[in-house]
């Protein structure tokens, strides 16, 4: 198979590791900290995880271990949506396995968690992993969104592991996937099954983070990929001077990508879902805000601009948040009847008839295309598939109506011609940036050391990420320490708490201080493509979000 020059060159890139992980693998040992409780719902989480809560934090230091005398067969799965760098997590895991003992084996289970249940796998070999190093995508073994939550599934996983000599499992995924890892670890520990489970923090959304998990992998690459595209559109807008571009950005339930892209590109408008919720803004309030800036620029002769819209914005609008919860309840209570309906029109009518009061009013006031998107199939975790809700088109329609009224009242004398875009899948499988290539490799290498130290129910943690890689700190934290109780499919369940944009955090405060100036006068910046070679300040730089946070 012929490959591009860039692809060939990236295969040979040697990722950087934290200083401690550059030591001989048999000269690294675990140092334990204090037990870590969750920030909330401690009693409920303790009840659900009696064997793995609370656990102590871990940090690696120089010391001694007996890894050379142990043999590991490690199962690895990729779970959830793709994120740049997943292949490097597997590469780091593979290299650590083989450095500890060449007899160790790494089995890649196919298609995500379902591969682990069904026993579908391939063995990761040196030749195989070498053809995927530093590349985007999850195609080495594929991914999936199967929930691991039933005793029947756990028994099948146990049988598959027993038949193949698997004594360790690494689950690479986001908040729901790492919740799977914690539940599986608890099951094994409770049933005295000698299999340890460790997770790795993946999601381009950026909402899987805390003090020990400073960034989820893929966020860096995805936000830079989107920023390049936004910068290209800004340059076109500034050249043509006749279009408003409304760009919806992937990010599901948090606005981190939209905020980072705004910091990178300085658009005319960027909406932040967390602020919308905090200010109790209705969808009409949002349209008023956008229309006011369009009018301001239009009255100054600038009938163009760029508006960034986070994918999950609609979930932050209080009236829609309540509506989505009500729809979730309707679907959970009437699952069989709803699933028997064939057309979207039938599903819309069914939901409309079941809703009451202000929720029925809100649903019936929406355009048919938004109603259809709200009742579309949920993902396997019960979440609304917000990527299917074209919020940017709804805002364009409402802004157009408001501008016509403003023009009639003499408050607006410009022209409004809008184009809509959705940037999502373009960023999920890009060649990882140097940062993500290094970070992901370190997460995988570190995950093996957690397993090798007999740890289970942990997530791989590499922090101090603003510093050069040699100064990164490697270790792990218990997954249960990141949890809270949330309503899922009509019942309270323990899940990893999402990290939302903090309105009192430095990234948002910096954006808030600059946005009016960006709105009044065209201030676009053009980040350009991700760079892999060149000065460190260009090719190894972190996101602006991470730089401001730390």
The residues carrying an active-site annotation are 205
Distance CA 386, CA 210 (A): 24
Residue at token pair 């083989």: 98
Q: Which of 144, 139, 133 has its CA nearest to residue 90?
A: 133
Alpha helices in 248-343 (DSSP H): 256-265, 273-278, 283-299, 313-316, 318-333, 335-339
Our CA angle for 44, 47, 50, nearest 5°, is: 140
What the block records as the tokens of 202 is 């993946």
Distance CA 470, CA 492 (A): 42
Contact 435, 542 (CB under 8 A): yes
- Packed helices 318-333 and 344-354: angle between N→C axes, nearest 10 degrees: 100
Is-cis flag, bond preceding 54, omega within 30? yes
Q: 3-class SS at 105?
A: strand
Distance CA 351, CA 221 (A): 39
Contact 519, 293 (CB under 8 A): yes
- By residue count, the chain amounts to 550
């Amino acid at each position: 198979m012929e490959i591009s020059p860039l692809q060939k060159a990236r295969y040979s890139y040697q990722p950087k590791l934290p200083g401690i992980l550059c030591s001989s693998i048999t000269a690294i040992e675990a140092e334990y900290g204090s037990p870590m409780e969750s920030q909330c719902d401690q009693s409920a989480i303790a009840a659900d995880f009696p064997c793995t809560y609370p656990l102590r934090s871990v940090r690696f230091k120089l010391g001694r271990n007996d890894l050379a005398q142990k043999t590991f067969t490690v199962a690895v799965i990729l779970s959830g949506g793709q994120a740049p760098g997943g292949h490097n997590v597997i590469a780091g895991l593979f290299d650590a396995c083989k450095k500890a003992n060449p007899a160790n084996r790494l089995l890649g289970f196919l298609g995500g968690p379902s591969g682990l249940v069904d026993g579908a796998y391939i063995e990761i070999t040196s030749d195989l992993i070498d053809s995927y190093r530093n590349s985007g995508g999850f195609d080495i073994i594929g991914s999936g969104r199967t929930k691991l939550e039933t005793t029947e599934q756990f028994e099948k996983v146990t049988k598959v592991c027993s038949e193949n000599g698997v004594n360790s499992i690494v689950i690479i995924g986001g908040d729901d996937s790492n919740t799977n890892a914690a539940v599986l670890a608890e099951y094994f520990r409770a049933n005295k099954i000698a299999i340890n489970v460790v997770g790795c923090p993946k999601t381009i959304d950026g909402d899987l983070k805390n003090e020990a998990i400073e960034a989820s992998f893929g966020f860096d690459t995805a936000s830079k990929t989107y920023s390049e595209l936004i910068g290209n559109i800004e340059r076109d807008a500034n050249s043509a001077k006749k279009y408003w571009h409304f760009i919806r950005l992937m990010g599901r339930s948090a606005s981190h990508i939209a905020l980072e892209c705004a910091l990178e590109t300085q658009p005319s408008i960027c909406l932040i879902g967390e602020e919308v919720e905090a200010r109790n803004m209705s969808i009409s309030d949002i349209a008023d805000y956008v229309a006011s800036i369009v009018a301001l620029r239009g009255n100054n002769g600038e009938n163009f601009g760029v508006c960034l819209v986070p994918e999950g914005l609609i979930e932050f609008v209080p009236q829609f948040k309540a509506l989505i919860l009500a729809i979730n309840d309707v679907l959970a209570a009437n699952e069989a009847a709803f699933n028997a309906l064939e057309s979207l029109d039938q599903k819309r009518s069914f939901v409309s008839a079941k809703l009451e009061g202000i929720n029925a009013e809100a649903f019936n006031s929406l355009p048919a295309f938004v109603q259809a998107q709200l009742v579309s199939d949920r993902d396997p975790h019960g979440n609304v598939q917000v990527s299917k809700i074209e919020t940017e088109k709804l805002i364009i329609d409402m802004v157009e109506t408001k501008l016509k009224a403003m023009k009639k009242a003499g408050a607006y004398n410009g022209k409004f011609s809008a184009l809509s875009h959705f940037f999502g899948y373009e960023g999920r499988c890009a060649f990882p940036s140097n940062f993500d290539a290094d970070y992901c490799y370190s997460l995988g290498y570190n995950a093996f050391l957690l397993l090798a130290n007999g740890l289970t129910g942990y997530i791989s943690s590499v922090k101090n990420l603003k510093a050069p890689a040699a100064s990164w700190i490697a270790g792990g934290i218990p997954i249960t320490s990141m949890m809270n109780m949330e309503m899922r499919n009509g019942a309270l369940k323990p899940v990893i708490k999402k990290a939302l944009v903090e309105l009192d955090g430095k990234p948002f405060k910096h954006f808030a201080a600059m946005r009016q100036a960006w709105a009044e006068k065209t201030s676009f910046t053009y980040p350009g493509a991700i760079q892999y070679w060149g000065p460190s300040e260009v090719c190894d730089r972190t996101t602006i979000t991470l730089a401001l946070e730390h």
